[in-house]
C-alpha cells in the first residue's frame, strides 16, 4: 500500500506541476496576444483617424 500511495502522490505532484506550468505558459501567451491585438487595433484606428483628417 505504501509503495502504491507514494507512486500515486508522485504522479499527482508531477501532474499538478505540469498543469500549473501549462496554465502559466498559456496565461503569459494570452497576455502577450492581448497586448499585441491592442497595439495592432490602436495602430489601425490611429492610422484610420489620420487618413480621415487628411481627407477633410
pLDDT in tens, 35-45: 999 999 988 88
pLDDT in tens, 14-50: 999 999 999 999 999 999 999 999 999 988 888 888 8
* DSSP states of 30-53: HHHHHHHHHHHHHHHHHHHHHHHH
The CA distance from 39 to 32, in Å, is 11
* Assessment of whether the complete model's pTM goes beyond 0.75: no
Amino acid at each position: 500500500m505504501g509503495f502504491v500511495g507514494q507512486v500515486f502522490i508522485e504522479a499527482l505532484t508531477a501532474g499538478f506541476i505540469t498543469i500549473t506550468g501549462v496554465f502559466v505558459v498559456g496565461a503569459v501567451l494570452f497576455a502577450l496576444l492581448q497586448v499585441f491585438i491592442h497595439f495592432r487595433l490602436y495602430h489601425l484606428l490611429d492610422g484610420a483617424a489620420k487618413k480621415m483628417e487628411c481627407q477633410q
